[in-house]
Every structure is written in structure tokens, then in C-alpha cells.
């Protein structure tokens, strides 16, 4: 496509500014999404890290849940990091009472799988779709994917086998935060998905 892809970033809570900066650096036309009208016309959407239950409550308050679910069901490319991955998951194993997320990604995730903020960590991950060198991955109160359906492709796992990056068609999810490391390959990979979908 010759025009800049229009990528929305859900901007209700969390590190949406960091995602917007990376996407703009890569040449995307970034739109901050807080209302249903701001969702229309985007070619792709990023669900940032933050607090998944707070994001869901705010999305309900701004009447965004149904439009987001519809956009995902209609094939909008979506990339969720950390809390965004939780929002995309069809099944949340340890959600708070009433937490349902948006769904679309046929995975079961466990929130805060590594413990509290004090248990955050960094590691190197080999991710074949991104090539070399390994990705320096930052995990902050991160979820993990404990089970995935047959149409889900694992992109990266920890040494113990737990999945921390997955893809299902136009949906992409990572447990970690590439927007804070200066490595733009995951965002570039997502933009390739967006361009191919337009």
C-alpha cells in the first residue's frame, strides 16, 4: 500500500504513548482511540499494556466493548501486549469477578503469571519470524498463554515451554513489552500484517 497505514492505539489506560511513538517512528498514521467514532477508519489496532480489568471497565464506560468485539470479529488486525493480550484472549483463567475481555484469540491466559511487580524480569527470546538477534523481552506483571487452540501459532516460549508470543491470523499477542526496549521488530511485523489486510 502506498499510503501510511492508519493504526489506532487504545488510549484508555496504560502505556499507549510508547506504542504510538514506535508506530509513528515506523511510518504509521497513529490515531488514539477512546471512543467508538475514533475506532472507525483504522486499518489496525494496538491494545497496550496496563491493567486489563481497568481497561475493560473504561472500555465499557466509553461504550467501546461492543465496537471493539465487532472489529475483531470482522478481521481488524490487532496487536495486544501484556494487558492487551489478556483483553484479546478468549479465556482468562484468573480474572477478577466479571472480567470477560474482548476475545477473538483462541487462547487461555493467566494474569500476573509471574507474581507481583517485584517479580518483573527481562530475558532474551529467540523468535524465528523476527530473525536474529534474539529479542530482549521485558516482562512486567506479565501473563502467559497456558493453552492455545489449533489455529494459534506460538511465536515464542520461555525455556519451561510457556508461550509468551502467539499469532492467530491477524491477531498478535505478546506477554512482554517491546515498546519499551527500542526493538521495533514486533511493531514492524504487525504493520506488515496491517498492510497485507488492507
- Mean pLDDT within 33-42: 94
Active site residue 177: yes
Report pLDDT digits (tens) over 137-163: 999 888 999 999 999 999 999 998 899
CB contact at 8 A, 75 and 170: yes
Cα 15 from Cα 117, distance rounded (Å): 15
Where is pLDDT greater, at 115 or 153?
Answer: 153
Half-sphere exposure of 193 (CA within 13 A, CB side): 23
Give CA separation, 67 vs 32, 38, 71, in Å.
15, 11, 6
Instruction: Using the structure block, give the residue that is written with the C-alpha cell 501459532.
Output: 153
Active site residue 136: no
Active site residue 146: no
Q: Does residue 47 carry a pLDDT above 50?
A: yes
Q: So what's the pLDDT on residue 1?
A: 47
Which of 98-102, 114-118, 124-128 tops mean pLDDT? 124-128
pTM of the model: 0.94
Q: So what's the pLDDT on residue 114?
A: 74
Q: Does residue 118 carry a pLDDT above 70?
A: no
Domains of the chain: 6-197 (3.40.50.880)
Report pLDDT digits (tens) over 17-32: 999 999 999 999 999 9
Query: What cell does 21 get?
Result: 511513538
Q: What is the mean pLDDT of the chain?
A: 92
Indicate the pLDDT class of residue 117, thresholds 50, 70 and 90.
low
Task: List the catalytic residue out of 56, 82, 136, 187.
Answer: 82
Q: Where does the chain show beta strands of DSSP type E?
A: 6-10, 29-33, 44-47, 78-81, 89-92, 105-110, 121-125, 135-139, 144-148, 153-157, 163-168, 171-174
Q: Does residue 112 carry a pLDDT above 80?
A: no
Query: What cell does 111 get?
Result: 494474569
Least confident of 95-99, 100-104, 107-111, 113-117: 113-117
Contacts from 22-30 at CB under 8 Å and sequence distance 24+?
22/178, 22/179, 22/184, 22/187, 23/187, 23/191, 25/184, 26/184, 26/187, 26/188, 26/191, 27/191, 28/4, 28/191, 28/194, 29/3, 29/4, 29/5
Cα 56 from Cα 178, distance rounded (Å): 22
Cα 86 from Cα 103, distance rounded (Å): 9
Amino acid at each position: 500500500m502506498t499510503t501510511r497505514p492508519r493504526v489506532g492505539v487504545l488510549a484508555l489506560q496504560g502505556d499507549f504513548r510508547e506504542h504510538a511513538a514506535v508506530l509513528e517512528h515506523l511510518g504509521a498514521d497513529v490515531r488514539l482511540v477512546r471512543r467508538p467514532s475514533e475506532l472507525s477508519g483504522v486499518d489496525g489496532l494496538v491494545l497496550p499494556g496496563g491493567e486489563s480489568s481497568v481497561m475493560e471497565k473504561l472500555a465499557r464506560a466509553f461504550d467501546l466493548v461492543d465496537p471493539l468485539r465487532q472489529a475483531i470479529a470482522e478481521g481488524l488486525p490487532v496487536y495486544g501486549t501484556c494487558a492487551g493480550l489478556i483483553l484479546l484472549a478468549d479465556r482468562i483463567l484468573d480474572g477478577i469477578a466479571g472480567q470477560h475481555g474482548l476475545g477473538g484469540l483462541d487462547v487461555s491466559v493467566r494474569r500476573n503469571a509471574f507474581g507481583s511487580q517485584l517479580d518483573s524480569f527481562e530475558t532474551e527470546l529467540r523468535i524465528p519470524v523476527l530473525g536474529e538477534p534474539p529479542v530482549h523481552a521485558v516482562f512486567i506483571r506479565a501473563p502467559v498463554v497456558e493453552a492455545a487452540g489449533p489455529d494459534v501459532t506460538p511465536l515464542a516460549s520461555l525455556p519451561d515451554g510457556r508461550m509468551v508470543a502467539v499469532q492467530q491470523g491477524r491477531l498478535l499477542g505478546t506477554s512482554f513489552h517491546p515498546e519499551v526496549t527500542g526493538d521495533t521488530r514486533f511493531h514492524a511485523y504487525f504493520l506488515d500484517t496491517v498492510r497485507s489486510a488492507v
